Amino acid sequence: MFAFPEQFSNATKANFESQFALISSLTSKTFEGMEKLVELNINTAKAALENSSATARQLLAAKDAQEFFSVSASQAQPNAEKALSYSRQVASIAADTGSEFTKVAESQFAEVNRKVISLVDEVTKNAPAGSEAYVSAIKTAISNANAGYEQFSKTTKQAREAMESNVNNAVSQFAQAANKAA
């Protein structure tokens, strides 16, 4: 209906550039999260190896079965606390990465939305007489898409918060069970 190929071409190009920027940002945030997770795992493995070596030396130095079992039992609480700390750190990394994803996606969506609205406004300024219903339908579709995105965003945020809460509850229950066992 409208013959504005240059405007649509520019809008398409801007859209592809925005999508590429979004993918690049999300990829970067993914690698940052993975880097933190790998660093945590390496540090945890080093600490576990050092702890295992120290415990093995203590067990080998035990003079009788009583001392051997005492050394073994004394490791339960610190090991449970270390596992709890590790779980909290993993949950924190996941939550931070998810939060960064949300920020990037929201800012990118706002920018694309602004550009689309600007394009529609520009096109509708020069719309021929009698196309008011078509213009109104386009604006309604954009409004509905925005409302749908906002609802999706709220639902995603609620799901992420529920997951974080569940992870925190599980870690807390594990900590209570570990304390009771000790």
| pLDDT for res 7 | 63
Residue 179 has pLDDT above 70, yes or no: no
Tokens of 182: 């000790």
* 21-32 pLDDT tens trace: 888 888 998 999
DSSP states of 152-176 as a string? HHHHHHHHHHHHHHHHHHHHHHHHH
| pLDDT for res 11 | 67
Tell me the whole-structure pTM to 2 decimals.
0.65
* 94-153 pLDDT tens trace: 888 888 888 887 787 777 777 777 777 777 777 677 777 877 777 787 777 777 777 877
Q: Which residues contact 6 (CB under 8 A, 6 or more apart)?
A: none
Residue 171 has pLDDT above 80, yes or no: no
* 37-85 pLDDT tens trace: 999 999 999 999 999 999 999 989 989 989 888 888 888 778 878 888 8
Q: For residue 147, how many C-alpha atoms fall within 13 Å in the half-sphere facing its CB? A: 6
Residue 88 has pLDDT above 90, yes or no: no
Q: Which residues contact 47 (CB under 8 A, 6 or more apart)?
A: 82
Nearest in space to 102 (alpha carbons), one of 41, 145, 163: 163
